[in-house]
């Protein structure tokens, strides 16, 4: 150590403090005096900020190594992977211009300005080239450049987009990263070398607008992913296959639950008997629980005078999502995109006292929204759907209590359907909003207070509230860890104003109630689609359209099979007999494919003994037992499913 070198102190995550010469790199500081740094370490946070391992430390710092196991480490890994892919693209297609290429959940993408879309063949070639770049193990080096010089630099290289990005940056100095012949503007940090990436695969290509704006030119995006081991990459690809296998559009058709047909129109769902039955079960449960929770259930028409929608503000704020109005006699009528105005009119049909509040109107209300064709997606995004809607009218001091009740109710319902993990967001005041900032702040505070009182962890989504009030959104996580937006609780300052809603207070004067919109499942269609994927079509017994299938082995047990089926039906189960002249293996195959939870095989042995042979879905042979034992077994399974 040269005499006179200044020493700095680094603190490692385990609390160890180490003195190192100023100017030494994060890598050197991390591995200390002895040996090399573990190859798992991709980068490091310096005082909490992710940095390259080659970053020179200039002062005392808290250091933490970053590996692929941390979100920040994964981001670095995928970000460098994107650069590797970009280098491969530039090698093969020098005229492709670089734009941006971030890490995303589960992978990365890079957008290129290129004269034509990339084909699957291109992707193969690019991937091969990317593998070669990984093999070559180019060191990834950071350098800094004055901003204007960097603009010139990229212009000279024909990278117009990069030049544009740099021009819009606020800093006077920008950082560039290079690997081999490739150089890109980038904030970093990055891996130490291209060989650090072990397993990389390109997945797909698609168009994407420059800066995400549809008025801008279309770029060519390539998606890929990368992992530290081939095994992890394979596991990820297997998960993608699993997602395909569970696709509700495929299962919905295979299980004969729903279809959507050209002749009907895009985004419009036909519920076949089995799908309709599952829906009925969901709706029955919903109604029962709402009545228990003190809701009053209402019905409202599918169309109403356009004037109603003018009063509600939908014509002004929501027109692009509405079907065009239809002319009937002398006035125009509008297919309803929401249920709220109807519930408001029910509220308004009487004078209301403060003693009446809160009033809770619930409706499984079918609404129609005009969605642009490109956004339609199976059951998850449709044009006609049924909201499990409710509107609560309450006094301002009741907001927190009502929201708390709704939260408890929501989690109860979602858990009943097998979801146990949630992401909760509070969306605050957007730029375009009605209501005073004070009202917004107060209502937002009430939402947060309700969440806190329930011990629910949440994140703030700044500026993402609806124009009429702040909201809580709850996303459910399915069995594959995917998050789906379902439940929403929204405060509304706007409609009570617009419709001049009032209640008479203790003081005998008119007061304005607060309105809360809420949906637990969101839309039955979407929720059903999510359920199909969550359960891979194998609904829990309480929701299964057919719960029991009785299979005879030969015609000799035909009567017995019919008696047994009747017995199960009488016990309240959805039971069917398959008496076809087919081998039992074939009948089992069909019942398996239909995901029937319980199969009951009756042959001569059972006929003689007066028992039933029970087979569970997915192959479990549960043995022979008397009918009563089977009934108990299934009842227990139903009870378990509903309390899970």
Partner RNA sequence: GCUGGCGUAGCUCAAUCGGCAGAGCAGCGGUUUUGUAAACCGCCGGUUGGAGGUUCGAUUCCUCUCGCCAGCUCCA
Answer for which of 583, 632, 639, 644 binds RNA (CB under 7 A) is 583
CA torsion angle 142 186 132 55 (round to 10): 30
CB atoms within 10 A of CB 227: 24
Distance CA 93, CA 567 (A): 71
**CA-only gyration radius of the chain, Å:** 31
CA torsion angle 372 377 381 383 (round to 10): 50
Span of 134-142, 306-314, 383-391, 564-572 interacting with RNA by CB under 7 A: 383-391
Residue 471 catalytic?
yes
Which one of the listed residues 369, 405, 587, 615 is annotated catalytic?
A: 369
Which one of the listed residues 79, 162, 290, 517 is annotated catalytic?
A: 517
- Phi/psi at 532 (5° precision): -60, -45
* 381 interacts with RNA by CB under 7 A: yes
Distance CA 80, CA 125 (A): 19
CB nearer to RNA: give 44 or 538: 538
Answer for which of 204, 284, 353, 453 binds RNA (CB under 7 A) is 204
Which residues pair with residue 209 across a beta bridge?
Answer: 218
Q: Which has the closest alpha carbon to 470: 435, 423, 512?
A: 435
Residue 389 catalytic?
yes
Touching RNA, residues 232-291 (CB under 7 A)? 249, 253, 260, 262, 265-267
Q: Are 393 and 493 in contact (CB under 8 A)?
A: no
Mark 447-476 with x for binding to RNA (rule: CB under 7 A) and - for no binding: -------------------x----------
Which one of the listed residues 74, 391, 405, 518 is annotated catalytic?
A: 391
Span of 2-10, 36-44, 575-583, 626-634 interacting with RNA by CB under 7 A: 575-583
Touching RNA, residues 356-375 (CB under 7 A)? 369, 371-375
Residues 399, 428, 382, 522, CA torsion sign: negative
Q: Are 387 and 286 in contact (CB under 8 A)?
A: no
CB atoms within 10 A of CB 628: 11
Supply 358's token pair: 């809160």
| DSSP secondary structure letter of residue 212 | G
Answer for which of 14, 115, 121, 213 binds RNA (CB under 7 A) is 213
Which residues pair with residue 46 across a beta bridge?
Answer: 49, 63
Touching RNA, residues 613-632 (CB under 7 A)? 613, 615, 618-619, 621, 624
Which residues pair with residue 625 across a beta bridge?
Answer: 612
CB nearer to RNA: give 68 or 458: 458
CB nearer to RNA: give 176 or 515: 515
Span of 18-26, 210-218, 290-298, 402-410 interacting with RNA by CB under 7 A: 210-218
Q: What is the size of the binding site for RNA (CB under 7 A)?
A: 67
CB 348, min distance to RNA, A: 25
Residue 369 catalytic?
yes
Span of 211-219, 327-335, 406-414, 417-425 interacting with RNA by CB under 7 A: 211-219
Touching RNA, residues 504-563 (CB under 7 A)? 519, 522-523, 525-526, 553-556
Distance CA 361, CA 389 (A): 8
Which one of the listed residues 90, 162, 471, 595 is annotated catalytic?
A: 471
Distance CA 8, CA 311 (A): 68
Which one of the listed residues 111, 389, 473, 492 is annotated catalytic?
A: 389
Q: Are 222 and 85 in contact (CB under 8 A)?
A: yes
CB nearer to RNA: give 371 or 497: 371
Which one of the listed residues 186, 340, 394, 486 is annotated catalytic?
A: 340
Distance of CA 39 to the CA centre of its chain: 34
CB nearer to RNA: give 60 or 247: 247
Q: Are 285 and 543 in contact (CB under 8 A)?
A: no
CB atoms within 10 A of CB 626: 12
SS (HEC) of 353-422: EHHHCCEEEEEEEEEECCCCHHHCECCCECCEEEEEEEEEEECHHHHHHHHHHHHHHHHHHHHHCCCCEE
Answer for which of 206, 231, 235, 460 binds RNA (CB under 7 A) is 206
* 85 interacts with RNA by CB under 7 A: no
Supply 19's token pair: 């003195």
CB 410, min distance to RNA, A: 13
CB 245, min distance to RNA, A: 12
* 410 interacts with RNA by CB under 7 A: no
Mark 175-194 with x for binding to RNA (rule: CB under 7 A) and - for no binding: --------------------
Distance CA 334, CA 308 (A): 9
Touching RNA, residues 589-618 (CB under 7 A)? 589, 592-593, 599, 601, 603-606, 613, 615, 618
Residue 340 catalytic?
yes
* Residues designated as active site: 340, 369, 387, 389, 391, 471, 517
Judged by the rule CB under 7 A, the positions of this chain that interact with RNA are 117, 204, 206-209, 212-214, 218, 221, 249, 253, 260, 262, 265-267, 369, 371-378, 381-383, 385, 387, 466, 485-486, 488, 519, 522-523, 525-526, 553-556, 581-586, 588-589, 592-593, 599, 601, 603-606, 613, 615, 618-619, 621, 624
């Amino acid at each position: 150590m040269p005499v006179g070198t200044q020493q700095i102190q680094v603190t490692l995550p385990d609390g160890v403090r180490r003195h190192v010469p100023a100017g030494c790199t994060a890598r050197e500081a991390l591995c200390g005096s002895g040996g090399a740094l573990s190859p798992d370490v991709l980068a490091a946070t310096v005082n909490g900020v992710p940095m390259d391992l080659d970053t020179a430390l200039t002062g005392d710092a808290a250091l933490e190594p970053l590996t692929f196991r941390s979100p920040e480490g994964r981001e670095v890994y995928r970000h460098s992977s994107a650069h590797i892919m970009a280098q491969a693209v530039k090698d093969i297609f020098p005229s492709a211009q670089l734009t941006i290429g971030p890490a995303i959940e589960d992978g990365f993408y890079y957008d290129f300005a290129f004269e034509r879309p990339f084909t699957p063949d291109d992707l193969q070639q690019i991937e091969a080239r990317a593998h070669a770049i990984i093999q070559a193990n180019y060191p990834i080096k950071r350098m800094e450049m004055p901003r204007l010089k960097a603009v010139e630099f990229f212009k000279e290289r024909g990278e117009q987009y990069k030049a544009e990005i740099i021009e819009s940056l606020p800093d006077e100095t920008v950082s560039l990263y290079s690997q081999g012949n490739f150089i890109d503007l980038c904030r970093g940090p990055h891996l130490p070398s291209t060989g650090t990436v072990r397993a990389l695969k390109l997945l797909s290509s698609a168009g994407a607008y420059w800066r995400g704006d549809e008025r801008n030119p279309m770029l060519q995006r390539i998606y890929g992913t990368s992992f530290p081991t081939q095994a992890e990459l394979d596991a990820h690809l297997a998960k993608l296959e699993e997602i395909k296998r569970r696709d509700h559009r495929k299962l919905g058709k295979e299980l004969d639950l729903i279809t959507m047909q050209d002749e009907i129109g895009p985004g419009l769902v036909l519920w076949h008997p089995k799908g309709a039955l599952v829906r009925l079960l969901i709706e029955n449960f919903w109604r029962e629980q709402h009545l228990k929770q003190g809701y009053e259930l209402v019905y409202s028409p599918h169309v109403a005078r356009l004037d109603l929608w003018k009063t509600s503000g939908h014509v002004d704020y929501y027109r692009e999502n509405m079907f065009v109005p239809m002319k009937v006699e002398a006035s125009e009528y509008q297919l309803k995109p929401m249920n709220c105005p109807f519930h408001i009119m029910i509220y308004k049909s009487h004078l209301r006292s403060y003693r009446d509040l809160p009033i809770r109107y619930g409706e499984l209300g079918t609404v129609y929204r005009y969605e642009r064709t490109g956004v339609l997606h199976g059951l998850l995004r449709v044009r006609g759907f049924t909201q499990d809607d409710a509107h609560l009218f309450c006094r301002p001091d009741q907001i927190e209590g009502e929201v708390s009740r709704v939260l408890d109710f929501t989690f109860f319902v979602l858990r009943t359907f097998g979801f146990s993990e949630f992401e909760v967001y509070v969306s605050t005041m957007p730029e375009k909003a009605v209501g005073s900032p004070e009202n917004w702040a107060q209502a937002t505070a009430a939402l947060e207070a309700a969440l806190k009182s329930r011990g629910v962890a949440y994140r703030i989504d700044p500026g993402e509230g609806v124009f009429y009030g702040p909201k809580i959104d709850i996303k459910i996580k399915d069995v594959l860890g995917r998050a789906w937006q379902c439940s929403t609780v929204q405060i509304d300052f706007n409609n009570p104003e617009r419709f001049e809603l009032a209640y008479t207070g203790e003081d005998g004067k008119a007061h304005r109630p607060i309105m809360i919109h809420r949906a637990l499942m969101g839309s039955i269609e979407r929720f059903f689609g999510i359920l199909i994927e969550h359960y891979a079509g194998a609904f829990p017994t309480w929701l299964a359209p057919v719960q029991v299938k009785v299979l005879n082995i030969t015609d000799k047990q035909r009567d017995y099979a019919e008696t047994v089926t009747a017995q199960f039906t009488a016990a309240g189960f959805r039971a069917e007999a398959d008496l076809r002249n087919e081998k039992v293996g074939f009948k089992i195959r069909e019942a398996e494919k239909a995901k029937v939870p319980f199969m009951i095989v009756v042959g001569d042995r059972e006929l003689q003994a007066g028992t039933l042979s029970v087979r569970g879905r997915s192959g479990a042979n549960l043995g022979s037992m008397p009918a009563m034992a089977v009934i108990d077994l299934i009842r227990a399974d139903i009870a378990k499913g509903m309390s899970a």
